[in-house]
Amino acid sequence: SVVRDVSHRKAREAVLTSEAHTDPLTGLLNRRGFAAYIEESGSGTGDRRLAVFDIDRFKQVNDTYGHAAGDEVLRTFARVAKKVVRENDRVARLGGEEFAVLLSETTLDQAMIICERLRRSIEKEVTKVDGRSISITVSGGIAEIVKNGDIDETIAAADLALYEAKRAGRNQLALAA
């Protein structure tokens, strides 16, 4: 018989998997990691909601202050979101300036309270870059995750609600129909 130590290879595989599921800028789950987390976590024992947030007028931040400042704003959102949501909730960066929050075992009213707390916290937060202060707001859309439902459909529903919040004037939340 032959015995081989594959612990080094297994450790490397774990690192590569983590890197494939993590956004390098914010340290949050990326879209792939978020989808995998939702799938792995199953239906849970209670209601789950998905909130999608978009930084309002983010292009203006990049155009006015530069991309390094934009990156710092993204990191600020990630830091504040992780601090504001509950321990069993998950925050992810879906891409660009779009983020998602999985709210586990949450009623619609609880989801609105948590998301409104996040929206207000971001509104109050100031990002400092090279002695300059940058304030942002976010818009958000909230959808229910249907048991055994397609996560892409849920993200699409939350996105539609997000764009309704933007059309209504930004810096607010909307619910998916």
Q: What is the pLDDT of residues 93-119, one digit of tens each?
A: 999 999 999 999 999 999 999 999 999
**pLDDT of 147 higher than 80:** no
Stated pTM of the model = 0.88
pLDDT of residue 123: 97
Q: Decide if 157 contacts 176 (C-beta within 8 A).
A: yes
How far apart are the C-alpha atoms of 177 and 169, rounded to whole Å? 19
pLDDT of residue 161: 97
The larger pLDDT score, comparing residue 13 to residue 173, is at 173
pLDDT of residue 16: 66
pLDDT of residue 59: 97
Catalytic residues: 97
Nearest to 27 by CA among 68, 67, 79: 79
